Structure 1
């Protein structure tokens, strides 16, 4: 598990699961996108939008009641874009053991009020 604080942390609920009690992959990817988006917005000091998601790997299932923590770190910064590596971990409700469940890379572009790309470092 990363040494940093999570970008976002939530508890998986029944509405987020299929009939077998496994959390939908789309729900988990949305959570990861939100966590990466928080990191991107802080770095861009403004709005940043998702333009790509690559290398998604589902390592283990997430169950109803699990606490899900998303960790996100900037891997690369270009003129207008950022690549953010994101990992999601699960922790059973009554346990201290955390397990990596999903990894992905998200690419964000900093945009201005006109929705056009702008430099990440201002401008």
Structure 2
């Protein structure tokens, strides 16, 4: 995760989802549950996978999830998606989560992870990603 080593780290990829966690999304200390954050990352990546596959898709794997710092309630959260690889029917996407705390001047990276999706048809069977998107 080289973005933390840079003098001015910036997100990689396209801003795909932006949301603010509410008190119901947190533990008693006010930190956002990791499961809530993974859900938002999955939604963001599935949105991009849907554009690539031009239809339905399903999550088949999540890999290399690292949580670098806590996420506080009320922070502005952005999920940035970056295409890593597109196969015949699968799509591998990197998702980075950045936050801007209410009192912070600069955004900070919270986590990143790899998500793999497969394009599916209306019956839930694997189908090919359109050729022009591979």
Q: What TM-score does the superposition give when structure 1 sets the normalisation length?
A: 0.94
1:109/1:4 CA distance change after superposition, 3 Å: closer
Instruction: Quote the Cα distance in structure 2 between the aligned partners of 1:96 and 1:108.
Output: 35
Q: 1:121 aligns with which of 120, 126, 130?
A: 130
1:13 counterpart = 2:22: yes
CA contact (8 A) 2:12 2:80 kept: no
**Where in structure 1 are there 5+ consecutive unaligned residues?**
none
Report what 1:42 is aligned to. Answer: 51
Report what 1:89 is aligned to. Answer: 98
Report what 1:104 is aligned to. Answer: 113
What pairs up with 1:6-85 in 2 under 5 angstroms? 6-85=15-94
Cα RMSD of the aligned pairs, angstroms, is 1.3
Structure 1 runs, 4 residues or longer, greater than 3 Å off: none
**Where in structure 2 are there 5+ consecutive unaligned residues?**
1-9
